[in-house]
Amino acid sequence: MDCRVFYHDKCFDGACSAALFTKFHRECAGTATGFEYRGLVHRAGSLFDESWWLTSGENAIVDFKYSASERLTWWFDHHQSAFASAEDEAHFRVGQVNADGTPGPLAMRQFFDPSYTSCAGWIAHIASTEFGMSLSGLRELLYWADIVDGAKYESAKAAVEMEAAAMKLTLVIESADVSRQMIPLLTAMPLDEVLAQPFVQQELGPLMERHRQMLALIGQRAVCERGVIAFDITDEPTEGYNKFIPYYLHPEGTYNVGLSRSSFRNKVSVGTNPWTTKSAVDLANIAAICERYGGGGHARVGAISFPVESEVDARKAAAEIVAELRAL
């Protein structure tokens, strides 16, 4: 029987999580003959469709929100906003602990810890400590999943100029439809070799060129006032841009609020400068701000999606968030 793996699409950690989960499932569960991958993206409205689940076999979600469907077998996540509703969270807890305090029926199938920097790191932790899986050969992958998902780059220059293989892979994963093809390779070879694959190289050239254009466009639009960098590029639809560009251009900014538009949504991206000298206690909780507008994310980075036709609402939300952060 097959295992269908739903993972956070357009995300380096999402792809690494799907790869690690597959290795974990092969070595520690062994109940699947094949694996299928389905990328999920955050969007306005319902996230899951009942028809997506495999009706015979197993279903897994990694690095993405919980689903209260009875079809969900495995779940690993580390997002602060992992539950779309209080009902979903209650449903998860029922599977974790029985009324008498003993481990629930899904305690060894569904795992959640928002303190983990990457979901890949969380899967590796559970696989190695609870199931005895060896992490040998996975160090590079786990190191970069933490760097990329935790935005722990040494500098804005490293993040924007992208010398490391993992940085270029992140660019390709976030922009092109390659993760499904890349997932089986991520646990099988060094990242340099994944990058050298013709299907990856084919995407990389044009993306690097577009990256340079986005750098120029955001450079023209971004304004930094009272520690908040704000820009609106909705008139130049894009499927994404390097989120460190604002801090590369304005190192003095503490937060950035970007308004962009893609083929399927308007997006308000809210971030905290990873190289800020401010102490953590003085920083705003970005996930909490985004949740108020129906979005979510992590303490330092979050986003809100609006339907394509709701540009006015997206612009209003962005302006309010800019004002709120500038008033801090």
Minimal distance, residue 11 CB to Mn ion, in Å: 6
Minimal distance, residue 82 CB to Mn ion, in Å: 10
The two tokens of residue 7 are 């993972």
Dist CA 204 CA 33 (whole Å): 33
Dist CA 303 CA 94 (whole Å): 29
Around Cβ 115, how many Cβ atoms within 10 Å?
7
Nearer to Mn ion, 119 or 160 (CB): 119
Around Cβ 310, how many Cβ atoms within 10 Å?
15
Minimal distance, residue 65 CB to Mn ion, in Å: 11
Minimal distance, residue 78 CB to Mn ion, in Å: 6
Nearer to Mn ion, 9 or 203 (CB): 9
Minimal distance, residue 14 CB to Mn ion, in Å: 6
Tokens 């577009």, residue? 210
Pairing state of beta strands 228-232 and 266-272?
Answer: unpaired
Tokens 């997006």, residue? 267
Minimal distance, residue 317 CB to Mn ion, in Å: 23
Could you tell me the CA-to-CA distances from 312 to 98, 99, 212, 315 in Å, in that order? 47, 48, 29, 5
Residues that bind Mn ion (CB under 5 A): 13, 63, 119, 149
Nearer to Mn ion, 81 or 242 (CB): 81
Nearer to Mn ion, 17 or 260 (CB): 17
Minimal distance, residue 267 CB to Mn ion, in Å: 17
Minimal distance, residue 119 CB to Mn ion, in Å: 4
Residues 6 or more apart whose Cβ sits within 8 Å of residue 87: 68
Dist CA 275 CA 247 (whole Å): 9
CA triplet 143, 297, 213: central angle to 5 degrees? Answer: 75
The two tokens of residue 278 are 């401010």
Provide the residue type at 170 as one letter: T
Nearer to Mn ion, 125 or 221 (CB): 125
Q: Which residue is nearest to Mn ion (CB)?
A: 13
Dist CA 168 CA 175 (whole Å): 11
Pairing state of beta strands 74-77 and 110-112?
Answer: parallel
CB 215 within 8 A of CB 244: no
DSSP for residue 48: -
Nearer to Mn ion, 253 or 296 (CB): 296
Nearer to Mn ion, 7 or 35 (CB): 7
Nearer to Mn ion, 144 or 231 (CB): 144
